[in-house]
Amino acid sequence: MFDELEKYKHTGHFFFESTDILKDVCNSPVDKSGVYIVYALKNGQIELIYIGCSGRQEKDGSIFIRKSGLGGIKDRIVNGFQFGKIPRRTSWKTKMKEENIEVLDVYWYVTHNSDLGDCPRTIEKKLLNRHVEIYGRLPKWNKKL
C-alpha cells in the first residue's frame, strides 16, 4: 500500500501486548527520525490504525531528533502523547483493552540519516493522504492530516 516506504532500508517492527512494557519491546532507534505505522490485530483481522512520525524540519533545513527521554523514534513511540495528555506507554494499553485489541504490530522506518534526507513529517502526510485516498478516511487513531 505504501510503495514510498520501500526505499528505506533501516527499518524494523515489534509486537506490543497490553501486558508488555512498551519501552522494553520497542526496538526503534533512539538516535534517528522517521515514521511509524501501527496495525491492530483483533479477532483474526489486521487493521492499520495509526500513522505517526518523529522528527521535524528546522528552519535551517536540518531534521530535529528527539534527545530527551529515550531519544529518537523510540522516545516518540513510548513517551509521545496520544488520546489526551497521556503517554503512549499508558494510553495504548487502555485503548487496546477498550477496543479488545489483542496485539499491536508497530513498523518503523528511518527516513533521515546519512544516506537519506526525507523529512518525517512530509512522509507521514504522504502516508496519511494515501490512506485517505484508498479508504476515504484517516486511520482511526489519527485525528488530523
Condensed to tens digits (0 to 9), the pLDDT of residues 17-64 reads 999 999 999 999 998 999 999 999 999 999 999 999 998 777 776 776
Query: Region 53-81: what's the mean pLDDT?
Result: 80
- What DSSP letter does each residue of 100-125 carry, written as one string? T--EEEEEEEEEESSS-B--HHHHHH
Distance of CA 142 to the CA centre of its chain: 11
Cell numbers at 119, concatenated: 523529512
| CA dist list (Å): 65 to 56, 99, 132, 140 | 8, 32, 28, 27
Supply the DSSP symbol for 74: H
Model's pTM, two decimal places?
0.92
Predicted local confidence at residue 12, as pLDDT: 97
Considering only CA atoms, give the Rg of the chain.
15
CA distance linking residue 108 with residue 37, whole number of Å: 6
Task: Print burial letters for 54-86: b (CB count within 10 Å at least 16), e (below 16).
Answer: bbebeeeeebebbeeebbbbbbbbbbbebeeee
- Please, what is the average pLDDT of the chain? 91
Query: Region 128-142: what's the mean pLDDT?
Result: 96
